[in-house]
Structure 1
Amino acid sequence: MEPSSKWKEITARAGYSAKTVMYVMLGVFILTSVFTALNREKASQSNVFITLKEQPLGQIFLGILVLGLACYACWRWLQIFITDKSDDDSLFIHVINKLFFCISGAFYFVAAYAGGKTLLEVQSSSSSQGSGKKVSEFLMQYEWGLLLVAAIGLCIIIFAVVQFKHAYTADFLKKFSLHALNQRIRKSVKITGRLGYTARGVVYSLVGGFFILAAVLSNPSQAGGLQKALETLMKQPFGPYLIAAVGAGFIMFGLYCALEAKYRKVD
């Protein structure tokens, strides 16, 4: 393997390993939130970093996680340049995919930055719900703000639809060399991927809806993230079971990321 290819593989696999830690811990927090509203407040990215830091050797583990998230951001940006157009995709879909790689990389770079601030003990009061509200408040100061908030919500809902599409079609299996995997691993990839993408689709659908509702009502407090999505689910019939299902789905997605870290094609 050429040195450049080796570094690509290391960067990608480190990134997927970091996603494993993030989603498994978020899933555990979501599951425990079934029992108390206080635990529901822990279901955020920032509390993943804080909880990890509080463990024995936590600073070392958090530092590794931050490095892994930064690697995943770099891997996403690298995919912009190394991903060729498929014969089955139109030019429009190809451009959209590259735009998604760019946004995804930016998202995980921000996550790595937030983890780095926690590691360096820089205080931050933002939460997943508060950050959504703050984004809406900032944008709504401008004349075009309502349209942009609605556009953000629409983009998030489109992303949620893509998650459901992955879950339904299991097209994520194309990322693996299935012929090189035994039947047990292939089945694990398919099950964890479908459950994980479904859980992500549910959460992103709610978050996108919150942004659109905030734009329609001209009320930034309507926007929110994961915590508000959990609060909304809790108010539904069988709410605790719905939250438990989402938590289990996030854990499954974390395990799917672990399988990606080990078996995904990265060439």
Structure 2
Amino acid sequence: MRVWEGYYTYFMDISISPSHIPSPRPEWVIRFARIGLIAKGIVYCLVGALAFMAAFELGGQTEQGAGKTGVFQFILEQPYGQVLLAIVVAGMLCYTLWRLIQAIRDTEDKGKDAKGIGKRIGYAFSGLVYGALAFTAAQLLLGNGGGSNGTDSRQTLARELLAQPFGQWLLGAVAVGTMIMGLYQFYRAYSGKYMNKVQSEQLKPEVRTSLVRAGLVGYIARGIVWLIIGYLLLRAAIKANFREAGSSSQAFQFLEEASYGSYLLGVLALGLICYGVFMFVRAKCEVISTKG
């Protein structure tokens, strides 16, 4: 009898204690994250493929058309291009919302100290960047030419900053911040932090090593692109000329103009494809936190 009384007391304690009642997991956040990572992987794989084609003058491809905006135009020109581009836009919006949720709800438990706030600002910045890309792609989808009339977004940013008081200093600060982000990609690669939340044991052993290496190469390639973009912004700040700034397409062109530029751009392009492939790995194997 006492045994049954003990069980009864135990279950009654659970029933009246909210802490014992598991809250439902917001599965939609996980879906948004995985769909967003897939969309990001598609974009980077295409950027890398088009950059590789531009490096060796394949298919008439140029560096100007190898940036993210050029990728959207490339998708649109394919059979069922409008449908494909709409899917990519939806995926990037999912990625944007996931990043903003990470920043606002602190689902990664980064905290409110300086380091945690910095991480959360980074999540928000990433979300806003891909939100802007989704907006550009949506405008292209609706026949509005991407809304930029051929003007590079970073040139627009540089022009607006240079028009402000102390504009060269402001643009210089953005340039330095961009280069720091590039160096951080190297740090993530060499420290192995890019694998922190990826459960690689879900992968088959024969492909696990190759995909992990793809992530390493991909983050290095991405860091190089950020460093070049930061350098172009810094050059625009020093010369007070917004036309010196540029995004990934201008970074590819800058690399192409160097000695052995075609080979350097080709290697970088393969690295960006590796980064895109690793986004697919993240979509499948990453632990997505939904607490907050």
Relative to the length of structure 1, the TM-score reads: 0.92
The residue that corresponds to 1:25 in the other structure is 46
Letter matched to residue 164 of structure 1: F
- In structure 1, runs of 5+ residues without a counterpart are none
Identify which of 192, 199, 205 aligns with 1:170.
192
Distance between the aligned counterparts of 2:66 and 2:23, measured in 1? 41
* Count of aligned pairs between the two proteins: 264
Do 2:211 and 2:278's aligned partners in 1 also have CA atoms closer than 8 Å? yes
Where in structure 2 are the equivalents of 1:7-156 lying within 5 Å? 7-36=28-57, 39-80=62-103, 81=105, 82-85=107-110, 91-124=113-146, 126=148, 130-156=152-178
The residue that corresponds to 2:279 in the other structure is 257
CA deviation after TM superposition for structure 1 residue 180, in Å: 4.2
Do 1:170 and 1:190's aligned partners in 2 also have CA atoms closer than 8 Å? no
Distance between the aligned counterparts of 2:279 and 2:200, measured in 1? 16
CA deviation after TM superposition for structure 1 residue 127, in Å: 8.3
The residue that corresponds to 1:184 in the other structure is 206
CA deviation after TM superposition for structure 1 residue 41, in Å: 1.6
Letter matched to residue 69 of structure 2: S
Letter matched to residue 77 of structure 1: L
Distance between the aligned counterparts of 1:186 and 1:48, measured in 2? 29
- Percentage identity across aligned positions? 28
CA deviation after TM superposition for structure 1 residue 124, in Å: 3.6
Larger Rg: 2
- In structure 2, runs of 5+ residues without a counterpart are 1-21
Over 3 Å off, 4+ runs: 1-4, 124-129, 178-182
Moved more, 11-20 or 44-53: 44-53
Give deviations 1:185-237, integer Å, cap 9, x for gaps.
43133211111111111111011011112112222222112122122212222
Distance between the aligned counterparts of 2:263 and 2:230, measured in 1? 22
Q: CA RMSD in A?
A: 2.1
Do 2:42 and 2:276's aligned partners in 1 also have CA atoms closer than 8 Å? yes
**Residues 91, 181 of structure 1: CA spacing in aligned structure 2 closer, same or farther, 3 A cutoff?**
farther
Do 1:129 and 1:223's aligned partners in 2 also have CA atoms closer than 8 Å? no
Do 1:170 and 1:193's aligned partners in 2 also have CA atoms closer than 8 Å? no
The residue that corresponds to 1:205 in the other structure is 227
Aligned-partner SS, 2:234: helix
Letter matched to residue 258 of structure 1: F
